[in-house]
Amino acid sequence: MITLQNDPVNVGGITLNNHLILAAGVLGTTGASIRRMLRGGAGGAVTKSIGPVPAAGHPGPCLIPLDGGLLNAMGLPNPSQEFASELAHLAEEPVIVSIFGGTPDEFQTVASWFADIAAGYELNLSCPHAEGYGAAIGSDPRMVRACTEEVAAFGLPTWVKLTPNVTDIAVIGEAAEAGGATALVAINTVRAMRISTKLRRPVLGNRFGGLSGPMIFPIALRCVYDLYEACSVPIIGCGGISSAADVIEMMMAGASAVQIGSAVYDDIGVFDQIASKLYSDHGCSAAEIVGCAHE
Amino acid sequence: MNDGMPRVVTIREMIRETPAVATIRFDHAFDSLPGQFCMVWVPGIDEVPMGFSGADQITVQEVGTATRALTSLTPGDNIGIRGPFGNGFSPVGRVLAVAGGVGVAPLLPLAKEGSVATFILGARTRDELIAADILADQTDLHIATDDGTAGYHGFVTGVLDSEIDIASFDTICVCGPELMMKSILDRLALRNMEQRGQFSLHRYMKCGVGVCGSCSLDPDGLRVCRDGPVFSGDQISSSEFGEYARDAGGQKQKI
Ligand SMILES: Cc1cc2nc3c(=O)[nH]c(=O)nc-3n(C[C@H](O)[C@H](O)[C@H](O)COP(=O)(O)OP(=O)(O)OC[C@H]3O[C@@H](n4cnc5c(N)ncnc54)[C@H](O)[C@@H]3O)c2cc1C
Ligand SMILES: Cc1cc2nc3c(=O)[nH]c(=O)nc-3n(C[C@H](O)[C@H](O)[C@H](O)COP(=O)(O)O)c2cc1C
Ligand code: FES
């Protein structure tokens, strides 16, 4: 298998300890939980998405493990501004604050609470199951550009996380880039549902939600490939990554780093696991691999 | 990852334990260890964590929307169950069990299988004692009620201080209100015996399988649903336990 050199990694303005980042919303609700993941080998971590007001999220069931993936409709539960205190002891670490809002102003407000403590921002313009938030605005290129501009104005690294639930993800990527995004993250979950046949009703409390995990890896890979053709800022691949081989494949599609979420379900030590296989002294430089499948 | 769709079970029996607590028996027995829990789906309402009080039953205290909806169901109604989840108790040697209120639920299977020598059962008043008859058959049962209507007049910790030699037990399994559990942990700490205590914790749970982070404890990020719900005293002695917990959105709430 192809391995990488364990060189310092800088992606979209943020210096990471390796190429493997904890994805938003997975074990990212508290500072202690994020620190546990960083100590467990994550090269950086994205927090749970934080919004303008505290929210409890959708009624349960909120998450159902499936063969090869997870189906969730958490509904963006979050403590809002109070979350800033969670990050106090992580100020020196590569912690990226994920934010959401319903308008460019709301993105601006939430970002302002973290301007002194975040290593950077990630805009959640892609959650598929929160009315008025996430993908609801993230499929409109003008809105994506406006929200990105508000947050990028803080002068911190600004990543924009995109939804695969659009006809052409490249158009949205270009809008984020025009708004000042320093990196694009692709993808968030794919709209999906399951029904209990015995009860004749959807299983998720919200009826539908988002699919993640190995099932969506080919979708995420295709999105990264498309974005690499259309955009010039770095791309961070996310969706279904659970092995070192997945990381290499995602990088060949054009990703400069990856995010990993659902794979912690099988093993909370997945970051160390993957890193131990991904890196070696005679590995290639990442520059040799990133986007090589396009030549 | 594997298929974790809720198993739909039919309610066979609804047993009133006390004015606010009912045991719900279903038509399927789960292969669970004492102390493991499940996520109970009340269709159209919510999904909430519950300890197994037996292979085919849960014991529910009415505290809010989902639990009230659960206890108003009747035989023939369907609910969904995900689980068993979590680690369960791992008792060794001579076992003392201490339960407050509905905290008796996850300790009941342990007593029924004959693993518990001595049991301290607490409740506010006589009418709220749960499963006292079964426990009296299986264990050396000590009862405490806050109002003195049965057994010792006061908290379970009063029984512990006046009637029990805690040092003579190798494992102390505890479930109940957090401040009650904390005062037992404090007593173990005084004797440097924290590691003998096994505490079944409650935290807000959304996924039940260790990915959402809603049940994470400070300062180590232990997940109550996956690393617990049972923790040894030394795992939690310098944690948020007894100080605060979090609500559905992750905001801290003082205990
Ligand atoms: C591992 C575990 C095992 C449990 N076992 C039992 C049991 O055997 N019997 C029993 O009666 N109760 C048990 N509980 C507590 C039970 O989950 C709550 O009483 C129930 O969720 C309340 O739901 P509600 O909608 O009726 O109340 P609400 O009105 O929603 O809330 C009332 C209280 O219950 C808590 N609560 C609500 N939803 C949840 C949730 N998803 N996770 C955790 N707490 C919640 C709230 O924080 C609040 O303090 C257990 C909890 C945990 C974490
Ligand atoms: C339980 C859960 C919660 C999530 N919460 C968020 C969130 O708050 N914000 C966000 O941008 N993405 C969220 N996601 C999406 C993930 O960050 C990630 O994009 C997606 O799960 C695909 O990656 P994976 O297959 O590695 O999990 C969540 C995913 C899961 C499974
Ligand atoms: S309930 Fe989701 S991590 Fe424990």
Q: How many helices (H) and strands (E) does chain B have?
A: 6, 17
Q: Are the beta carbons of A27 and B250 separated by less than 8 Å?
A: no
pLDDT tier at A8, thresholds 50, 70, 90? confident
Q: Using one digit for the tens of pLDDT, what is the confidence trace for A187-235?
A: 999 999 999 999 999 999 999 999 999 999 999 999 999 999 999 999 9
| CB A79 within 8 Å of CB A18 | no
Indicate yes or no: CB of B212 within 8 angstroms of CB of A74: yes
SS (H, E, C) chain A: CCCECCCCEEECCEEECCCEEECCCCCCCCHHHHHHHHHCCCCEEECCCECCCCECCCCCCCEEEECCEEEECCCCCECHHHHHHHHHHHCCCCEEEEECCCCHHHHHHHHHHCCCCCCEEEEECCCCCCCCCCHHHHCCHHHHHHHHHHHHCCCCCEEEEECCCCCCHHHHHHHHHHCCCCEEEECCCEEECCEECCCCEECCCCCCEEEECHHHHHHHHHHHHHHHHHCCCCEEEECCCCCHHHHHHHHHHCEEEEEECHHHCCCCCHHHHHHHHHECCCCECHHHHCCHHHC
pLDDT tens per residue across span A38-53: 999 999 999 999 999 9
Mean pLDDT of chain A: 95
CA pair distance B149, B155, nearest whole angstrom: 12
A4-8, A25-29, A113-117, B177-181: which has the minimum mean pLDDT?
Answer: A4-8
pLDDT beyond 80 at A128: no
Q: Which of B41, B217, B221 sits opposite A61 (nearest CB)?
A: B41
DSSP state of B107: G
Confidence band for A132, pLDDT divided at 50, 70 and 90: confident
* ipTM at complex level: 0.95
Rounded to a whole number, what is the distance in Å from the CA of B209 to chain A's nearest CA? 7
- Residue with token string 């909370």: A268
* pLDDT for residue B1: 59
Residue with tokens 């994470």: B216
Q: Taking CB atoms and an 8 Å limit, are A62 and B47 in contact across chains?
A: yes
**Residues A239, A187: Cα–Cα separation, whole Å:** 6
Contact A48 B216 (CB under 8 A): no
Mutate to test the pocket of ligand 1, among B130, B202, B252 (most ligand atoms within 8 A of CB): B202
How many whole angstroms from its chain centre is CA B126?
20
A36, pLDDT greater than 80: yes
| Chain B neighbors of A32, CB-CB under 8 A | 216-221
CB-based contact, B27 to chain A, within 8 Å? no
Closest Cα in chain B, distance from residue A82 (Å):
7
The secondary structure element, H or E, covering residue B71 is helix B65-71
Mean pLDDT of A72-100: 95
Which pLDDT score, from 0 to 100, does residue A130 have? 72
> Which residue ranges of chain B lie beneath pLDDT 70?
1
**Residue A127 designated active-site:** yes
Q: What is the pLDDT of residues A277-292, one digit of tens each?
A: 999 999 999 999 999 9
Question: Does position A127 have pLDDT exceeding 80, yes or no?
Answer: no
Query: Looking at the partner chain, which of A33, A60, A213 has a beta carbon nearest the beta carbon of B47?
Result: A60
What integer is the mean pLDDT of A235-240? 98
Q: Is the CB of B212 under 6 A from ligand 3?
A: yes
State mean pLDDT over A71-86: 96
Residue of B6, B211, B226 lying closest to A70 (CB–CB): B211
Model confidence over A241-252: pLDDT tens digits? 999 999 999 999
Asked whether B236 lines ligand 1 (CB < 6 A), one says: no
